[in-house]
Structure 1
């Protein structure tokens, strides 16, 4: 077996690294000090995204994207994930399910989003519906003019800069009729309830939206009535792989900073890396990243196969998201410890990543939910699903 990256993949990796260091890193402290990036910075990065060719890596060239495989997307996201403050979110990946839209929807929403002229936000989570979207209470009821949407959505990431929302609803309150609607953010009845603050400083915000008798035309249904649950699950697959890749990238940056510091910091007349306790911490961090990166590359390469069974994709995505999100928390905590007081200073990227990465064990499915998914799959298919190499059941 040949596990080497191709010449093209190496070039893509280098390009994403250079983009991250040249375009994203310079704005990390702006994001930290202002709890977000300015509109001017956002506009600049957006133009750079287009100039470098990183717009809509997850959508086809036919629709104005870059047409990258999931493996190629992971190579890019790994590098983008080294930036703090989630500035990587200024590199939009329009929601995967939009590719299932009608030609009119593709022209109105997908193509402009792929060209960075519009921005979507996926509205799923609610006060009583987190990792399990079947508990969604947002309803859509047939009425004159289409459907009337009522409900509330929490943690709508990039909701402050998006101009339209993909709203996960239940037709007539029936989970069997889970349906996603395109909803313009300025439509009558759409309002921001509040914009909570979180532990990390994020490039964009996560507002809570309320929908009060919002009338949406039937033509705004994405794919069809009852298609919402499967589309949302497919969106979770892509989102979880992206999280896993960024976790690996963030961990690599922490390791590099901590390793350099351990070689430079003199205590007791010698570099602290010469103390075995520090050396072992660096060794553990390195091995955790090695294992996670191996899993990341393997799974993303496998899932890039369009013919792979959908349920198998979901199962593997849960495993990689769980492993990488927990790994990065171990690594960043050790990184803070190695840097000592400096590791607790917000001007240090290790400290910022320490805060940034905590949410990765929560959003797009908590670690506990991922374990439920993995455990359920083992009951149905056996441990070979995860421990075997060629699994095709």
Structure 2
């Protein structure tokens, strides 16, 4: 059993790390204070291309970098160390666009991975979050066009996007969930509100209204009724990505706390020599080791062509464990730093705010437990407790 990263893996990891440390970390405070200029953001975007990170989850055929699943995880871990959601500057086309028609691929998938346009995803509503069957947004065919009506919440990175992928129910029928590609400047597309959240984030999370928005049938992504399957595929990949972000955040927080504990002298010795502190660092290190082992194991299995159904099951476990691990680890890091850890200028303070949402978006911890329990009932405990050669 070979657990070593290949030379190619290490090269991708090193580029992602260099990008984060040289181009994201120095701009975090400006982002947190909403002082990041358009000129600086444009410079960072150029560096995304220079470091071969644009479209990093996509194959070369789809306009991406052609990285293996393991390499994608390594990239997500490194950029996940950045605060204020600055990792989102590393753009990639929404996963469902892979399943589009040739026209949709040529018009959206390939240009978006190249940085010419961007997509965001709209599924959540005021009354529909964990249960997408409660979505009220509808799409009705009238005079040869789809007419979309509804309201969406938490449309992440909407202000940076040129199109929004809307999850709607055809004819208001929950059995017909369907995705539509809608231009952000389409008549009837309205920004209702830009809510402010606990964390700072490079882009905004709009609340949007779709008021009699008309789109041609060529903007329908997939078949009528296929929307939830396409959305679930997106959720699965995003959950693995979030798990990697959480690992990166925990590692950065622990490194900062460890360095501080070695240099902070109290009562004549470094505070790391006090058992209360060294035990926290020990627990943090073990949590990170367990999370990394889990994540990299899944990455290796994905490299070997894991069954998508098993990926769905394991992605939920990954997101659950790593998001809750990050919360525990970053909390300990802040405690070790004391008052300094509570200052916004300290990356740990920003990470503390950042990682809290990872237990919520793309499926709450409670929803992940529902999925995991369902998989145990369906497939047996071995899916989580076993080990395959």
**TM-score, length-scaled by structure 1:** 0.97
Pick from 318, 323, 326 the counterpart of residue 324 of structure 2.
Answer: 326
Give the match for residue 112 of structure 1: 111
Distance in 2, Cα, partners of 1:71 & 1:100: 22
Structure 1 residues 80-116: Cα deviation after superposition (integer angstroms, max 9, x where no partner): 0111111110001211110111111111111110100
CA distance in 2: counterparts of 1:304 and 1:184, whole angstroms: 35
Tell me which residue corresponds to 1:181: 180
Q: How far 1:303 sits from its partner (Å)?
A: 2.6
- Asked if 1:361 corresponds to 2:369, the answer is no
Report how far residue 363 of structure 1 moved: 0.1
Deviation at 1:42, TM superposition (A): 2.2
- Deviation sequence 1:325-363 (CA, Å, 0-9, x none): 000000000001000000100000011000011000000
Q: Distance in 2 between matches of 1:170 and 1:17?
A: 42
1:349 — aligned with what? 347
CA drift at 1:250: 0.5
Q: List aligned pairs for 1:1-393, cutoff 5 A.
A: 1-34=1-34, 37-306=36-305, 308-390=306-388
Q: Distance in 1 between matches of 2:3 and 2:283?
A: 23
Per-residue CA shift, 1:96-152, capped at 9, x if unaligned? 110111111111111110100101001111111112222211100010141100001
Aligned-partner SS, 1:66: coil
Q: What do residues 268-310 of structure 1 show as CA deviations (whole Å, max 9, x unaligned)?
A: 111000000100000000000000000011112213444x332
Q: Secondary structure at the match of 1:65?
A: coil
Residue segments in structure 2 that go unaligned for 5+ positions in a row? none
Name whichever of 123-132 and 203-212 sits farther off. 123-132
Q: How many residues align?
A: 389
Q: Structure 1, unaligned stretches of length 5 or more? A: none
CA distance in 1, matches of 2:92, 2:314: 21
Question: SS state of the match for residue 156, structure 1?
Answer: strand
Superposition deviation, residue 378 in structure 1: 0.8
Whether contact under 8 Å (1:37, 1:204) holds in the other structure is: no
C-alpha displacement of 1:39: 2.2
Secondary structure in 2 matching 1:128: coil
SS at match of 1:165: strand
Determine the C-alpha separation between the residues in 1 that align with 2:358 and 2:40: 25
Q: Aligned partners of 1:86, 1:67: CA distance in 2, in Å?
A: 24
The answer on whether the counterparts of 1:151 and 1:211 sit within 8 Å (CA) in structure 2 is yes
- State the distance in 2 between where 1:304 and 1:151 align: 40
- Secondary structure at the aligned position of 1:155 is classed as strand
Q: What SS is found at the alignment partner of 2:221?
A: coil
Residue pair 1:145, 1:216 contacting (<8 A) in 2 also? no
Alpha-carbon distance in structure 2 between the residues aligned to 1:348 and 1:294 = 28
